[in-house]
Structure formats: C-alpha cells, structure tokens
C-alpha cells in the first residue's frame, strides 16, 4: 500500500480528500471506517504531498533536463530531424507540466462556468487518478483546457523552453485530453465521429 493506492481506496469508498496547509481534510456522507482512517493517517504526509495543488518541486534545471533528454532520444534513437525532435520534447514537457499542476474540482459544479449538472448538459470528469478530476460541461471544456495549455506554455517559456520556430505541437498529452469512456462515447456521438473506444 502506498499513498496513491490509499487515495484511490478512499475515493472508491466515497471519501473526498482535500489538502489545507499540511492537513488532510476528509469529506464523506458517513463516518469512514476506522481501518480507512488508520490507512489515511499512516500515509498522511505522502498524501498531502501528492494532492497539494500547484506544487511543483522541479527546478528549472529539471525541466531543461527533461527537454534535452526527450529531444535527444527522438533525434538520435528515433532518427527525427532536430526541429521535430524538439517539438516532441516540448509536447512532453507541456504534458508533464499539466500533470504536475493538475486541477481538481468537486462534482456537481462546472469549473469553468459554475453551472450545474443538467440532463442535456451533463458534467463530465476530466483528468486521471490519483490527482482526481475536474468537472466541466463538455462545451466548457475546450475553453478551460486552452487556458490550461496557455499556462503551461507561459510557465515553460519563463524557464526558457519553447516550441521550435515554425513547428506546432501535434502530440497532446493523454491524461486529461479525454473524459471518461462514457463521456468519450457521448462526445463521439455529438460530433458524429466513429467511436472506437471500448
Ligand atoms: Zn460549464
């Protein structure tokens, strides 16, 4: 058992976990069983680190190292031209930044427009465990996600990491690009695209 698994077990049990300062705050409709409380308290410090929003323990050197490493692999192992290799490396950095600055929100309210869940406009969970989901209407998601990407671009630019001139990012990260399978099905229906998911 590690902190990630403890978080997933708590979520499965219907417990909402939040971090306030160095404290772990639990929200549940019924008191959690003692074994669950014990599990969470044993892993508290690691869970707080895992869930604390916006914590990025990476220094500029770490980001540059990731970029150089990915660009090197794509260029020398993958045989890509340098500009293309750097574009791929940049996409990796952007995905990493988004993962390290994941956003969670409580279900029941759209993170973008603040609206509620409606039968015709259901709120969908975007993101992956263990960092949790951001809940948005499907039509609110693109705007919100563009803003998220813009933040990643700005943060990387501040560290001197930019996409090579004349290139565009084609590879998007997987983690929060798509909502859950059910939502993917819904989106596929809406857009009349062939749905190939499970
Ligand atoms: Zn909305």
User: Residue ranges per domain, the chain?
Assistant: 3-51, 60-191
What is the number of alpha carbons within 13 Å of residue 48 lying toward its C-beta?
11
Q: Residue for token digits 């969908």?
A: 124
Q: What local confidence, expressed as pLDDT, does residue 55 receive?
A: 53
Measured in Å, residue 138 CA sits from the centre of ligand 1 at 7
Cα 54 to Cα 170: distance, rounded to the nearest angstrom: 26
Measured in Å, residue 123 CA sits from the centre of ligand 1 at 8
Over its length of 198 residues, how does the chain's per-residue pLDDT go in tens digits?
Answer: 777 778 778 878 888 877 777 888 888 888 889 999 999 999 888 777 766 654 566 777 888 899 999 999 999 999 999 999 999 999 999 999 988 888 889 888 999 999 999 888 899 998 877 777 899 999 999 999 999 999 899 888 877 888 876 666 554 444 454 454 434 433 333 333 333 333
Single out the residue of 14, 37, 34, 13 nearest to residue 24, CA to CA: 37
Q: What local confidence, expressed as pLDDT, does residue 134 receive?
A: 93
Contacts of 168 (CB under 8 A, 6+ apart): 87
Cα 32 to Cα 26: distance, rounded to the nearest angstrom: 9
Contacts of 175 (CB under 8 A, 6+ apart): 95, 98, 99, 127, 128
Q: What local confidence, expressed as pLDDT, does residue 189 receive?
A: 36
Q: What local confidence, expressed as pLDDT, does residue 182 receive?
A: 39
Measured in Å, residue 33 CA sits from the centre of ligand 1 at 35
Alpha-carbon Rg for the chain in angstroms: 19
Measured in Å, residue 108 CA sits from the centre of ligand 1 at 11
Neighbours of ion ligand 1 (CB under 5 A): 110, 112-113, 115, 137, 140
Measured in Å, residue 35 CA sits from the centre of ligand 1 at 37
């Amino acid at each position: 058992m590690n902190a990630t698994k403890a978080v997933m077990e708590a979520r499965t049990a219907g417990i909402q976990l939040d971090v306030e300062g160095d404290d772990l705050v639990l929200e549940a409709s019924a008191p959690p069983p003692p074994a669950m409380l014990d599990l969470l308290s044993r892993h508290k410090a690691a869970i707080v680190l895992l869930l604390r929003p916006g914590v990025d323990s990476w220094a500029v050197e770490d980001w540059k190292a990731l970029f150089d490493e990915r660009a090197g692999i794509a260029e020398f192992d993958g045989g890509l031209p340098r500009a293309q290799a750097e574009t791929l490396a940049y996409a990796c950095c952007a995905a990493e930044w988004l993962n390290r600055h994941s956003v969670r929100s409580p279900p029941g309210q759209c993170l973008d427009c603040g609206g509620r869940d409606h039968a015709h406009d259901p709120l969908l969970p975007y993101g992956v465990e263990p960092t949790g989901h951001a809940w948005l209407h499907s039509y609110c998601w693109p705007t919100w996600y563009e803003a998220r990407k813009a933040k990643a671009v700005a943060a990387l630019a501040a560290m001197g990491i930019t996409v090579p001139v004349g290139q565009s990012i084609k590879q998007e990260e997987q983690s929060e690009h798509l909502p859950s399978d059910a939502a993917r099905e819904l989106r596929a229906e809406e857009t009349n695209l062939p749905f190939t998911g499970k």
